[in-house]
Amino acid sequence: MTTEELHTEPRIRVGSGWISGLVLANLGLYMAFLTPIQVLLAEQIDAIDPSGKELALGWATGVGALVAVVANPLAGTLSDRTGGRFGRRHPWILGGAAAGAAGLAVTSVQTTIVGVTLGWCLAQLGLNAMLAGANAVVPDQVPVEQRAAVSGWIGIPQTLGLVVGAVLVTMVVTGTTAGYLLLAVLVVLSALPFVLLTRDPRVTREAREGAGRTRAVRLADFWVSPRAYPDFGWAWLTRFLVMLGNAIGTLYLLYFLKDAVHYAHPDEGVLILTLLYTAGVVVTAVAGGVVSDRWGRRKALVSVSSVVMAAASLLLTFWHTWPVAMAAALLLGLGFGAYIAVDQALITQVLPSAVDRAKDLGVINIANSAPQVLGPALAAPIVAYAGGYAGLYLTSTLVTVAGGLLVWRIRSVP
């Protein structure tokens, strides 16, 4: 890849094989990301400390998310500066998968809350390196007029990964240790087809030197001024708020079913709700992306889908029943499917520099990870002291609506 190619948006549409390989890699990635948070970590911590499980789960997921906040942009920066015949992104996708698998294996054998937390942090370190590479290949190789559709396809594994993962760790294997180890194997296997069968253009040394990307990484490199790049700043804030609302509303799902809905088998209940949620995502993710690509507009669809997600949380504010929980899960999936496809495409259009795509997407990913840190800090006291689960879901509603409205502050994307 020459200096000119490095600064030019891609023009050749990617094919179904390329998309399928990236979808498979993301499926393994999100199985490894989400299944522990929703099932394995919750069960493991419940077995270690049943009386303090809510606080312990919040600490484990929160500290892990804090690692993600640092790891993703750092891996993205290093990916942008990676040379060699294997390309910029492939080494980080496969290497991150291997490191994430090692972290899952370490977590599987822990018998203390501290041990679980440290193991999960190692897993987050590797998985976020994989995510940095996987995210960057889209603006690297997908033209703007195809990005929302491709982002829709990639958005499906973000929910399908949890469904497949939950089925595997609850019905195919038994015990948390076997569940973690199975996910560790699958995350590596899922990355191999994309890494081995697709091209990753090598950036020449001249191009990297011309862009000033061969020097050592500095802390200042991670700062993207919202004054200089206001649309990037607003895109970051809107993503942060929507994901914060999502984090607040989903962190205690297992405990919500157990303690508020009084569902007889909360583990199975989580799986059923996840299936409904995934069905909603599948319906709207690709369709929403295609509509956005053809219409040429992003903000209206981002705003509408955010309101739909907020409506799901509002239902759970007032009704703690199993039928309402199922309806809310489906509604949340319908909103999130369209949101993640269109908002991701919007974000790729406000990146400050083509040279630093992976780093800038890593900064955006802080808006995905930071809510996992702040979410438990907000959710635990709300459940304990500010209205219980009704207060929790009302907070989720208000935060999500705010994110959907602030997207209109972005000026450069219709």
Quick one: which H or E segment has residue 18? helix 16-35
**In this predicted structure, what is the pLDDT of residue 38?**
78
Identify whether the C-beta of residue 260 lies closer than 8 Å to the C-beta of residue 320.
Answer: yes
- The whole-angstrom separation of Cα 215 and Cα 207 is 13
pLDDT per residue as tens, the chain (414 positions) = 555 556 677 889 999 999 999 999 999 999 999 899 878 998 999 999 998 887 898 889 889 988 988 999 999 999 988 877 888 999 999 999 999 999 999 999 999 999 999 999 999 999 999 999 999 999 999 999 999 999 999 999 988 898 899 889 988 998 999 999 999 999 999 999 999 999 998 776 665 555 555 556 777 778 888 999 999 999 999 999 999 999 888 878 888 998 899 999 887 898 789 889 989 999 999 999 999 999 989 999 999 999 999 999 999 999 999 999 999 999 999 999 999 999 999 999 999 987 888 999 999 988 988 887 788 778 888 988 888 899 999 999 999 999 999 999 999 998
Identify whether the C-beta of residue 407 lies closer than 8 Å to the C-beta of residue 345.
Answer: no
**In this predicted structure, what is the pLDDT of residue 207?**
54
Q: Per the structure block, which two tokens stand in for 20?
A: 């399928």
**In this predicted structure, what is the pLDDT of residue 215?**
57
Which residue from 254, 272, 242 is spatially nearest to 403, judged by alpha carbons? 242
Instruction: Write phi, then psi, for 12 (nearest 5 degrees).
Output: -90, 125
Coil, strand or helix at 356: coil
Q: Per the structure block, which two tokens stand in for 88?
A: 């910029």
**Residue 244: C-alpha distances to residues 240, 249, 262, 399 (Å):** 6, 8, 26, 7
Identify whether the C-beta of residue 42 lies closer than 8 Å to the C-beta of residue 258.
Answer: no
**In this predicted structure, what is the pLDDT of residue 239?**
96
| Every domain of the chain and the residues it spans | 3-212+219-409
b/e burial code for range 95-131 (CB count within 10 A of at least 16 → b): bbbbbbbbbbbbbbebeebeebbbbbbbbbbbbbbbb
To 5 degrees, how large is the angle CA 226–CA 228–CA 229?
Answer: 60
- The whole-angstrom separation of Cα 130 and Cα 76 is 9
Enumerate the H helices of 214-349 as residue ranges. 230-250, 253-259, 266-295, 299-318, 322-348
**In this predicted structure, what is the pLDDT of residue 254?**
81
Confidence (pTM): 0.85
**In this predicted structure, what is the pLDDT of residue 383?**
86
Identify whether the C-beta of residue 50 lies closer than 8 Å to the C-beta of residue 162.
Answer: no
Amino acid at 339: Y
CB-neighbour burial class of residue 140 (10 A; exposed 0-12, middle 13-18, buried 19+)? buried
Instruction: Write phi, then psi, for 175 (nearest 5 degrees).
Output: 90, 145
Q: Per the structure block, which two tokens stand in for 90?
A: 């492939």
CA 277 to the chain's CA centroid:
15
Identify the sign of the CA torsion 369, 38, 58, 317. positive
Taking the alpha carbons at both ends of the chain, their separation in whole angstroms is 30
Identify whether the C-beta of residue 132 lies closer than 8 Å to the C-beta of residue 26.
Answer: no
**In this predicted structure, what is the pLDDT of residue 270?**
82
Amino acid at 154: I
Angle between helices 322-348 and 144-167 (to 10 degrees): 140
**C-beta neighbour count of 368 within 10 angstroms:** 21
CATH T-level topology, domain 3-212+219-409: Growth Hormone; Chain: A; (1.20.1250)
To 5 degrees, how large is the angle CA 69–CA 411–CA 242?
Answer: 40
Quick one: which H or E segment has residue 84? none
Identify whether the C-beta of residue 376 lies closer than 8 Å to the C-beta of residue 146.
Answer: no
b/e burial code for range 185-205 (CB count within 10 A of at least 16 → b): ebbbebbbebbeebebeebee
